[in-house]
Amino acid sequence: MICPFLGDDGCIIKRTHRPYVCLQYRCSAFPFAISTEKVVDYLRCTGGFAPALQQVAGRQLAVKAAAEKGLAVSDEELQQASDAWRAVNGLFSAIDTNECLEDLGLTIDKYEAYLETNLLIFKLKQALASEAKIEDIFSDPQCREAAIELLYADWLAGAVK
């Protein structure tokens, strides 16, 4: 289904009825979908591929470190994360969620793995902060969060070496 979502250049973005997803782009002058391969090639040519690869690798390092620390995600935590993600994306039924995942080219397993990784990274950050006694140093929540992010970035930089 193509909705008339027009940009300044008159391009029509192929979308579902939900406003959060834009996967295939079609311009009225060039009525064709853009493949994932073209996007990857573009990212490689413009220098965007390496940062994306670093982010994915960093996420995997964090998951490994979380497992080494014995951190795990419960089914309840995974459900809460899924509910939050669905709410942020305006998905209020299972049908909408399944359509969204299909639009994104994701299986349920990949979606759950993404959420689980996010939760493990959060737990790893909290564990690092606890080890560094961040709460004893910073009483202001914003300062504490900034310190946790810096601590995690420093840990990640060391883990990549």
* Per-residue model confidence as pLDDT tens digits over 23-52: 444 444 556 667 778 888 999 999 999 999
- CA-nearest of 160, 147, 161 to 59 is 160
Predicted structure pTM score: 0.76
Range of the domain at 11: 1-34
Residue 63 sits in the same domain as residue 139 = yes
Answer whether 129's CB lies under 8 Å from 147's CB: yes
Give domain status of residue 154, yes or no.
yes
**Same domain for 90 and 25:** no
Residues 23 and 60 in one domain: no
Residues 41/120, Cβ–Cβ less than 8 Å: no
Q: Supply the DSSP symbol for 47.
A: T
The answer to whether residues 9 and 77 belong to one domain is no
Domain membership of residue 11 (yes or no) is yes
pLDDT of 130 strictly over 60:
yes
Helix (H, G, I), strand (E, B) or coil at 16: coil
**Does residue 68 lie in a domain region?**
yes
Q: Where are the alpha helices (DSSP H) in the chain?
A: 36-46, 49-68, 75-88, 94-104, 108-131, 134-137, 141-160
Total of domains in the chain: 2
